[in-house]
Amino acid sequence: MTHVILLAAVGFVGGAFGSMVGLGGGLFIIPGLTLFLGVPIHNAIAASLVAVVATSTTGSIAYVRQALANVRLGVTMETALTLGALSGGLVGAMLGKEVLSAVFGGVMVAVSVYMGLRRKAAPPSLADGAGLGRLGATYFDRNLDCEVRYQVKRLPLGLFAGLVAGNVSGLLGVGGGFLTVPTMRLGMGVPMRAAVSTSSLMLGVTACAGAVVYFARGMVDPVVAVPVVLGVTVGAYLGSRLALKVRSSVLVSVLAVVLFALSIQMILAAVGISLR
């Protein structure tokens, strides 16, 4: 029973932190399951992918209703994301646990460095008369108290990033938001709020493509996945509300340090060194 509660707690933390910074939560769930609860990494990845679907769905309910998520851009990028996730899921199911742990640790180092270095930037402005193009959109930003209009630029860059993010998602059981959000924000001209919302929407389909492979192969262990999914759903619901009350710069800095520490531990575990 204690083990089940701890699994749900890992899901809760992953869902809460993930939803606060626009990630799926897999970056917290997988180290939590493997390092602290001894779950085999393949089962952890499978459970994480299902949990990412839950995080994405929970967050997207509000994002879509409030018209923050750009559904046309989302479904366009999902073509690349799902293709990447499919290939990643097939390769991930075949790789050894040491290789997966090491790759995961390496990706986490990159993400934590990115989170530590990123700076808040003002949303790009678009003149009133300018056209939105096929993928552009408008939304009302409550914090800025104004309507934000934007065009989507460099779609090929977004599709390439989607392919890579999807591959990493299927391979490692994470959502891929750590790559799609900065690409949309910095490379495609999408405002941060719309990028986080659209990414959240896309993560569900991306993780689904990878999770289906694991589920069909019987690698989604309900004893692990069910408590994590229940925990992540509650965490994502509360996290999305808590995010409004916490300064994002403080949150991101704390998360960067935690992720960096976990990534080092994952890499050490891959080579047989345990710090516990």
Partner 1 sequence: MKVAPRNAATCSDPDPRLAAALSRLLLSGLSLAIALLLVGVILTVARPGGPVSHVSSITGLPRALGAFEPGGFFDLGLLVLLATPAARVVALLLAFTRRRLWLFSAVSVMVLLVLALSAFLGLRGG
For partner 1, the binding residues (CB under 8 A) are 50, 53-54, 56-58, 60-62, 64-73, 75-76, 78-79, 82-83, 85-86, 89-90, 93, 134, 137-140, 142, 147, 194, 204-205, 208-218, 220-223, 225-226, 229-230, 233, 241, 244
Task: State both tokens at 128.
Answer: 């009133």
Q: What is the CA radius of gyration of the chain?
A: 18
Outline where 132-247 has alpha helix (H): 155-172, 177-182, 192-216, 222-242
When the beta carbons of 110 and 222 are compared against partner 1, the nearer one is 222
Contacts of 19 (CB under 8 A, 6+ apart): 25, 55, 58, 59, 200, 235, 236, 237, 239, 240, 243
CB of 156 to partner 1, least distance (A): 15
CB of 64 to partner 1, least distance (A): 5
β-bridge mates for residue 147, sequence order: 140
When the beta carbons of 192 and 256 are compared against partner 1, the nearer one is 192
CB of 159 to partner 1, least distance (A): 11
How many residues are present in the chain? 276
Residue that has been written with the tokens 């408008």 in this structure:
138
When the beta carbons of 28 and 214 are compared against partner 1, the nearer one is 214
Q: How far apart are CA 98 and CA 194, in angstroms?
A: 37
Task: State both tokens at 226.
Answer: 């069910």
CB of 42 to partner 1, least distance (A): 13
When the beta carbons of 105 and 239 are compared against partner 1, the nearer one is 239
CB 159 within 8 A of CB 202: no
CB 85 within 8 A of CB 209: yes
CB 79 within 8 A of CB 205: no
CB of 50 to partner 1, least distance (A): 6
When the beta carbons of 27 and 230 are compared against partner 1, the nearer one is 230
CB of 220 to partner 1, least distance (A): 6
Residue that has been written with the tokens 């989302």 in this structure:
74
CB of 240 to partner 1, least distance (A): 8
Strands 146-150 and 137-141: antiparallel
When the beta carbons of 70 and 199 are compared against partner 1, the nearer one is 70
When the beta carbons of 21 and 262 are compared against partner 1, the nearer one is 21
Query: Which residue, among 31, 58, 29, has the nearest Cα to 238 in the 3D structure?
Result: 58
